[in-house]
């Protein structure tokens, strides 16, 4: 941000945009990234698309004029306050952040359109339970007058475009001599998303898998496997065998039509019994995975000679997912899985008892 070296004429243009308040605060060292909420960070990403050579903002290959909405805004308290003066909002992306944000915006904006790569058939549908949220195909182009054209040919005149496009893997602090690269968000080659065949076991990656994963249990079992390998308790295949495994995995992705940027998406291909079928929501969570998170974690557990993930935990995860779809606004406060909570307590009690017995022996 501070390296942009904007001149006063550029700041005059930015001053006419609705996010000038946060921009000014950062430039003047009154606000740091640590103080920013997620919504503010997205606004920062929008600011960073500013091109000082033509005083415009970049959306792909298209340049947009700085819109003059909300000129009186000097500080952005919340994202709904930020967008309340506007009518039509487009969110690019369809993962968790986009879902949460679009729901927050629905009460303030006239229309919210979610542009998602998961919507491929051109059918525009409303998000279940909402009258002003639409799921759309990805953006084809944007025009200077604010009109946004989707790939199915439909178009809307947008007041605001928010990028909810996730994160890019980037490791500038690692010099891996080309043995590991990041290509379209594929970190590779990595054996089981962890070990680079030519640098294993001295280098490993933890936490790369994304989309509906269980972050803490996932990272824990990955670390256990890494510890087993480093201690010599578990032996990795040879470098050639690991390379062959990775290449076979890539071929499976290609054969399944899964894009390269979904390489580390291993959270979608799990049991979805009880979820609505053939709806906008099911398209919203289109499968782009060849392995479920539970299959992956159970494989790691077997390598470490650890017990697999408890069945009640898997069922609780699936129940929470269904509950979120059925009670999108209240799923954090209302649930129907008390029987699974009871099973968890029984499991904890049994595990504690077994530990005491082992200590006595």
Residues in the chain: 361
Per-residue CA distances from 274 to 321, 325, 349 (Å): 10, 10, 30
3-state secondary structure 45-59: HHHCCEECCCCEEEE
- Domains of the chain (ranges, CATH numbers): 2-163 (3.50.50.60), 181-360 (no CATH)
| 53/349: higher pLDDT | 349
Sequential DSSP letters for 36-95: --HHHHHHHHHHTTEETTTTEEEETTEEEEPP-TTTT------HHHHHTT-SEEEEE--S
Identify the pLDDT of residue 62.
Answer: 55
Measured on CA atoms in the order 320, 101, 96, 279, is the torsion positive or negative? positive
Mean pLDDT of 79-101: 71
Q: What is the pLDDT of residues 147-181, one digit of tens each?
A: 999 988 889 998 888 877 777 888 888 888 999 99
Q: What is the pLDDT of residues 1-22, one digit of tens each?
A: 455 566 676 666 666 665 566 6
Q: What percent of the chain has pLDDT over 70?
A: 65
Q: Which residues make beta-bridge pairs with 183?
A: 186
Report DSSP state, residue 134: E
Contact 215, 207 (CB under 8 A): yes
User: First-to-last CA distance in the chain?
Assistant: 61
Report DSSP state, residue 298: H
Q: What is the pLDDT of residues 231-267, one digit of tens each?
A: 999 999 999 999 999 999 999 999 988 889 889 988 6
Instruction: Tell me how far apart the alpha carbons of residues 225 and 63 are, in angstroms, rounded to a whole number.
Output: 48
Identify the pLDDT of residue 6.
Answer: 64
What is the number of other CB atoms lying within 10 angstroms of the CB of residue 321?
18
Confidence of residue 304 (pLDDT cuts 50, 70, 90): very high
Instruction: Tell me how far apart the alpha carbons of residues 219 and 300 are, in angstroms, rounded to a whole number.
Output: 11
Identify the pLDDT of residue 301.
Answer: 96
pTM of the predicted model, to two decimals? 0.66
| 19/311: higher pLDDT | 311
């Amino acid at each position: 941000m501070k390296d942009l070296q904007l001149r006063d004429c550029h700041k005059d243009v930015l001053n006419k945009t609705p996010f000038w308040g946060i921009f000014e605060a950062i430039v003047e060292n009154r606000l740091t990234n640590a103080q920013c909420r997620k919504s503010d960070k997205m606004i920062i990403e929008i600011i960073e698309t500013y091109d000082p050579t033509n005083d415009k903002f970049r959306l792909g290959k298209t340049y947009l004029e700085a819109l003059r909405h909300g000129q009186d805004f000097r500080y952005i308290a919340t994202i709904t306050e930020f967008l309340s003066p506007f009518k039509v909002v487009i969110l690019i992306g369809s993962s968790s952040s986009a879902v949460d944000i679009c729901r927050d915006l629905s009460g303030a904006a006239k229309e919210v359109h979610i542009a998602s790569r998961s919507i491929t058939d051109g059918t525009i549908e409303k998000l279940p339970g909402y009258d002003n949220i639409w799921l759309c195909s990805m953006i084809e182009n944007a025009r200077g007058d604010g009109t946004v054209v989707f790939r199915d040919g439909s178009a809307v005149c947008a007041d605001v475009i928010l990028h909810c496009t996730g994160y890019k893997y980037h490791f500038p602090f690692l010099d891996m001599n080309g043995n590991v690269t990041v290509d379209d968000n594929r970190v590779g080659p990595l054996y089981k998303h962890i070990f680079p065949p030519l640098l294993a076991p001295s280098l490993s990656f933890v936490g790369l898998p994304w989309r509906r994963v269980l972050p803490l249990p996932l990272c824990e079992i990955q670390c256990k496997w890494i510890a087993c390998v480093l201690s010599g308790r578990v032996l990795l295949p040879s470098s050639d065998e690991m390379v062959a495994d990775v290449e076979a995995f890539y071929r499976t992705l290609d054969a399944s039509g899964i894009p390269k940027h979904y390489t580390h998406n291993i959270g979608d291909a799990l049991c979805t019994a009880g979820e609505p079928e053939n709806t906008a929501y099911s398209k919203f969570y289109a499968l782009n995975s060849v392995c479920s998170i539970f299959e992956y974690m159970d494989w790691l557990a077997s390598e470490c000679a650890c017990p697999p993930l408890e069945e009640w935990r898997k069922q609780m995860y699936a129940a929470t997912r269904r509950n979120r779809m059925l009670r999108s606004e209240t799923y954090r406060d209302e649930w129907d899985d008390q029987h699974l909570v009871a099973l968890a307590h029984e499991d904890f009690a049994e595990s504690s008892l077994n530990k005491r017995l082992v200590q006595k022996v």
